Copies of this chain bind each other. A is one copy, B any other.
Amino acid sequence: MSFTLVLGGARSGKSRHAEALVARYPAPWTYIATAEAWDDEMRARIAEHRARRGAEWITLEAPLDLPAILAGAGSRPVLVDCLTLWLTNLMLGERDIAAAAAALGGTLETRTAPTVLVANEVGLGIVPDNALARRFRDAAGRLNQDLAARAASVHFIAAGLPLVLKGEP
């Protein structure tokens, strides 16, 4: 197990940074998208990201079954973008988050190919008014901590610039 976790805020350039990390390895690269296009805003954002990536990327969709899809990627370099949307999907789908996180951990443990995971940092604003948002914030924070502890490298991105919290640049 030797993956990199890329953390950052909204529009921080974390996806672009993560793509560059994966592109250090020979193509083809696998892009595992967790986003679901449930409205126009999300469709536009997905299309924009997809247009930026070239034909050397194979896109797989994993709104819920991330551990299994990641396991299926085998020895190809993989980018998972992003864990926070996956967590959103799990919560909206009323899945067992602890079990899903454990399954992801299990899959990561068996992978030997380059793996980069993108996640949002969402805990640096005011306490949200509604209880669901607070539960989400707690779950996202716990998942980030858990993965950061196991990751070989952790990069925090602000305004497109990386800050190495752990491991290699």
Q: Chain A: residues with CB nearer than 8 A to chain B?
A: 5, 7-13, 41, 121-128, 131, 133-134, 136-138, 140-142, 144-145, 147-149, 154, 156, 158-161, 163, 165-166
Contact = CB atoms under 8 A, between A and B. Distances in A.
* Copy count, this protein chain: 3
A140 B13 CA distance: 12
B9 A145 contact: no
- In the A-B complex, list the 4 residue pairs whose CB atoms are closest, starting with the nearest: A125-B125, A11-B141, A9-B123, A10-B123
Contacts of A11: 123, 137-138, 140-142, 144-145
A89 to B, nearest CB: 14
Contact of A160 (B124, B148, B159): B148
Given A10-B127, A12-B141, A121 B165 contact: no
Contacts of A161: 148, 154, 165-166
